[in-house]
Structure 1
Amino acid sequence: MIKHTLGLALLAVAFGAQAQATPGSNLIVNGNAEAGVSGWTGFEGYSLFQSVDYGSNWVLPTQPGPLDRGSKMFTGLTAQAAGFQTLDLGALAGQSLHYELSGYLGGWAAQGDNALLYVSFLDAQDNEIGHAAIGPVTPAERGNQTGLFLRTASGQLPANTSALMFSLSMERLGGGDNDGYADNLSFVVSSVPEGGTLAYALAGLGLLGGLLRRRR
């Protein structure tokens, strides 16, 4: 679903981003659903997901999920639900940045309902020049358990990244409710020291060389 709605959301980037980019802090606004759906905008033609309390018809506090899960999580409202938010990197644009993407995603028992978090890396003309994603978590990966499970991704932002767009989608594949679940969504960037990549590579080669010498 993200591929079908990405173009529409890119049009919204021109209207301005929502927060300040600070290294070491979570750049996703309200990634834990505790403030309802504040910070998220619905895609045109799709309903926005909803923020619900743990328990009752949803994931119980005793079922798999983040230890610091708070009282709320995101889940779908209709068969296909999605929302996005954008962020201008400001002074960080053009810097060498490493990112850590993480979140808890899941679903209900053996149903295929799922959630996906997709991050677009945008240049100054709002063109997507790269992306990162976590999810979906399949029923088999969950062991057919109801709950949310940690997924992560990391890497380096493309050199010309000027802005970010975070897109969260839930899809119903069975049952009457959209039981794609998400909570504790996070995207953190940190500066890569000049020459850091080469230094890490050389250090790795040195370690490998030492291990090979020991084996001999």
Structure 2
Amino acid sequence: KTTTAALIEITTTTATTTKTTTTTTITTTTTTTTATTTTTTTTTTTTTTSTSTTKAPIFNVNMLNNGDAETGPCETDSNVMNPPGWTCNGEITQLAYNNTFIYSRVNTIPGTAPGGCLFYGQISGYTSMWQTIDLTNYADPSLIDTGTVEFNLSAWLGGFINQNDRAGVSVTFLNQANQTTGSVTNIGPVTDTDRGSVTSFLFRQATGFVPVGARSATVLVYIIRAAGNVNDGYVDNVNIFMYQ
């Protein structure tokens, strides 16, 4: 009897299971966004440019139109001829020295500046003429308002022998509202006593400061008859100018 021994080889297979653990590291990047708010303030500067023109003053110039009775025609007879350039009240006349009316009275009057005519009262009891001058044509208002501008008013005033027919001149300053500012300045009247009862002219003048705020000036010439039928008040070379 044969005994067969069977060798059974048991092969044990050990399965090694390798577990791979994959660790995934998640890196979270936090981005902080800082929002910077820039406030832009725009300042608008408005520059206003004012152009101020200051005129050069016109000083030492007679501001009157026809202050010397030499503008326009002159009467040579007994007719009335109001002087050009003036506003007139009554018969005040621009008369030639060489005339047929009162020639013997005025043809040899001493003391007048060269010229052929004068202002004459004619037959009025009272007669006058005047002009209003725009001072701003001669000096800037800002200069006048410094109170440093002066004026000079002058005229030749006269009459006939011992008659007291007489003439005078005044200036009144006015502001922008045409209201009187400052004091009225007068020269004359020249009386027969002033003249020593001689037919003649006498020079008269006055000076002063142009009032602050003055914008115009009214110059008045007046002639008054005191005796006779003819107004023998005489005026010539009326002058007003500003200076500093």
TM-score norm. by structure 2 comes to 0.64
Whichever residue aligns with residue 64 of structure 1, its letter is P
Which structure exhibits the higher relative contact order, with contacts defined as CA atoms closer than 8 Å and separated by 6 or more residues? 1
Corresponding residue for 1:162?
215
Q: Residues 32 and 84 (structure 1 numbering): CA distance in 2 closer, same or farther, change over 3 Å? A: same
Match of 1:108 among 144, 150, 160: 160
**8 Å CA contact 1:98, 1:157 repeated in 2:** yes
Whichever residue aligns with residue 111 of structure 1, its letter is Q
Q: CA deviation at 1:69?
A: 3.2
**8 Å CA contact 1:41, 1:48 repeated in 2:** no
| Rounded Cα–Cα distance in structure 2 between residues aligned with 1:118 and 1:61 | 27
Corresponding residue for 1:63?
109
Corresponding residue for 1:120?
172
Q: Residues 74 and 160 (structure 1 numbering): CA distance in 2 closer, same or farther, change over 3 Å? A: same
**8 Å CA contact 1:86, 1:165 repeated in 2:** yes
Mark the runs of 5 or more structure 2 residues left unpaired by the alignment: 1-56, 73-82
Show the 5 A alignment for 1:191-210. Answer: 191=244
Determine whether 1:47 maps to 2:90: yes
Q: Which is higher, the Rg of structure 1 or of structure 2?
A: 2
| Rounded Cα–Cα distance in structure 1 between residues aligned with 2:164 and 2:225 | 7
Show the 5 A alignment for 1:111-190. Answer: 111-129=163-181, 130-190=183-243
**8 Å CA contact 1:103, 1:183 repeated in 2:** yes
Query: Which structure has more strand as a fraction of its residues?
Result: 1
Secondary structure of the residue aligned to 2:162 is coil
Q: CA deviation at 1:134?
A: 0.7
| Rounded Cα–Cα distance in structure 2 between residues aligned with 1:89 and 1:35 | 22
Corresponding residue for 1:76?
121
Secondary structure of the residue aligned to 1:140 is helix
Q: CA deviation at 1:132?
A: 1.2
Q: What's the C-alpha RMSD, in Å, of the aligned pairs?
A: 1.7
